[in-house]
Amino acid sequence: MMHRHDFLIIGSGIAGLSYALKAARHGTVAVITKKEKAESNTNYAQGGVAAVMSAVDSFDLHVRDTLATGMGLSHRDAVEVMVREGPERLRELIDVGVRFTHRDGMLDLGREGGHSINRIVHANDLTGREIERALVQAVSENPAITTFENHVAVELITEHHTTEKRVIDSENIHCWGAYALDSIGKRVDTFTARVVMLSTGGLGQVYIHTTNPVIATGDGVAMAYRAGARTANMEFIQFHPTTLFNSGSPSYLISEAVRGFGGVLKARNGDEFMQMYDERKSLAPRDIVAYAIDTELKKRGDDFVLLDLRHLPAADLREHFPNIYETCLKRFKLDITKEPIPVVPAAHYSCGGVVTDIDGRTSIQGLYASGEVSMTGVHGANRLASNSLLEALVFSDRAARSSAAYLREQSPDVPAVREWDDSGTFNSEEWILVLHNRREIQQIMWDYVGIVRSDLRLGRAWRRMELIRHEVEAFYKKTKVTEGLLELRNIALCAELIIRCAMKRKESRGLHVTTDYRQRDDEHFLHDTVLEG
């Protein structure tokens, strides 16, 4: 089946939906999403949106905190844009209907690791869910937007998929849509558009322990790379320091705001340890806290550390963190006001992705990207807490304005596109191979490309991943596509990209820590790690 629109958006988190509302002013919009439209990394975000919303805060302070956390690799121009345009984008969310938490008639501003001041705008401890609720409602009421649920993007449509015979210029590739598997109808549909927005979110499912939902399989990064787009900084995977130990998959996240509220990290024997790693103690940035916990676990032989809130007023904890309190109590039989929380790190966020400029443009014409799938340069070697939702809002707005101008002034007409052809393939019943390969990739990445790395570990990971990816690609080419196979193919490629970038960076910086190069090396590595698709 062929679908034609002016704009095609792949993904339905805060980046995609906020972009859709603005793109709809300039043309027809299709949103394709893997599951239900509210299922996204955004929906799982507990903490909030970092923005300068008080008189005691300033743009300069927020910029400084972001640059300091990024360890020299954050692009100052992108950081300045995000910080200065953030408050207006936040007000737009309020206008859409997002109900942020207020106290005494003012926005209640929380604090998280790496921030020098309270600036986290939140909706109690379910900020992402509240933002997603309001955006989904606004999108559903907009007649220019059509949402296609249960559609899994297969591949971006470029010159390679047109019916015209032409010499393909690798320096001048256009994106004209995407093929997507209708997982209910069991067919691959063709979506054409003059502008395509990638907002597919993260890739946490590359790791066996992650806070990300099962849909976070790096689809956007993998598809863009295969189409020829530049990617960068894939080695910088942020591990959230505090997820509830033994809480299943995805790991249940204990918001960083809990530490901002006064929670203290301790070893199982009750000893505090963060003072040995950073003067900010439990409020240090995520890379430092995750590294500290990982080190303590290995040193002590423990399975988890403790996040202690027992010294804080119980009523205040229940008021500020109602969802965390209720979930821990009812689902995990843990009263956080009376018992310390056992926590471990888990893969949480990718600071790298598809390279964009400050207007969301990728290296492929007509292809834009925003949110976790993108690499705007904001996060550098480590993301400052609660800058992710802010980044998505700001750069989706800029991408909407830029792509509307592109549609109006520059974009060529969509050429004739070949519909999906799976003749010569067969339905396989060997899905145990898909499941086994997925688990093997996740375990390899956790064991060898986790919080602490080495040349030996990366070499082992590379050799094993190269073999697995070739097996997966061969299986893909002869088999009719399914959601599981598509996700496996994308996970395998993203894992390989992470390893390649990690092997290139011969230093320790931010989220990339290696035992072979323990120091930061500004002379040789004060730059992004770029891979050409």
Q: Residues 71-75: what's their mean pLDDT?
A: 97
- Please give the pLDDT value at position 275: 96
Q: Does 486 have pLDDT greater than 70?
A: yes
Tell me which residues are annotated as active site: 286
- Please give the pLDDT value at position 239: 93
- Please give the pLDDT value at position 70: 96
- Please give the pLDDT value at position 429: 66
The H or E element containing residue 153 is: strand 151-156
Sign of the C-alpha dihedral, residues 21, 23, 28, 32?
negative
Q: Lowest mean pLDDT of 124-128, 354-358, 436-440, name the range.
A: 124-128
Q: Which of 111-125, 128-142, 237-251, 388-402 has the highest mean pLDDT?
A: 388-402
Q: Does the bond joining 415 to the residue before it have cis omega, within 30 degrees of 0?
A: no
Could you give the domains of the chain?
A: 2-235+351-409 (3.50.50.60), 241-347 (3.90.700.10), 431-528 (1.20.58.100)
- Please give the pLDDT value at position 521: 98
- Please give the pLDDT value at position 46: 59
- Please give the pLDDT value at position 37: 54
- Please give the pLDDT value at position 256: 84
pLDDT digit string, tens, across residues 416-459:
999 898 877 777 766 778 889 999 999 999 999 999 999 999 99
Beta bridge partners of 106: 103
**β-pair type (49-50, 151-156):** unpaired
The answer to whether 118 and 106 are in contact (CB under 8 A) is no
Confidence grade of residue 112 (pLDDT, cut at 50, 70, 90): confident
Beta bridge partners of 147: 31
- Please give the pLDDT value at position 249: 79
pLDDT digit string, tens, across residues 30-62:
999 997 655 555 555 556 899 999 999 999 999
Q: Residues 479-499: what's their mean pLDDT?
A: 96
DSSP characters over 188-236: EEEEE-SEEEE-----GGGSSSBSS-TT-S-HHHHHHHHHT--EE-TT-
pLDDT digit string, tens, across residues 81-98:
999 999 999 999 999 999
Q: How far apart are CA 23 and CA 380, in angstroms?
A: 28
CA torsion angle 499 516 296 300 (round to 10): 110
Q: Which of 224, 218, 222, 195 is nearest to 30 (CA)?
A: 195
DSSP characters over 477-508: HHB---HHHHHHHHHHHHHHHHHHHHHH--S-
The answer to whether 395 and 358 are in contact (CB under 8 A) is yes
> In the predicted model, what is the mean pLDDT of the chain?
93
- Please give the pLDDT value at position 476: 92
Q: What is the pTM of this model?
A: 0.92
Confidence grade of residue 533 (pLDDT, cut at 50, 70, 90): confident
Q: Residues 210-239: what's their mean pLDDT?
A: 96
Q: Residues 210-228: what's their mean pLDDT?
A: 95
Amino acid at 324: I
Q: Lowest mean pLDDT of 74-83, 370-379, 431-440, name the range.
A: 431-440
Residues 6+ apart with CB under 8 A from 332: 244, 247, 252
> Any idea what the Cα angle at residue 210 is, between residues 480 and 113, rounded to 5°?
145
Give 35 or 69, the one with higher predicted confidence: 69
- Please give the pLDDT value at position 43: 52
**What percentage of the chain has pLDDT greater than the value 90?**
80
Q: Residues 124-138: what's their mean pLDDT?
A: 89
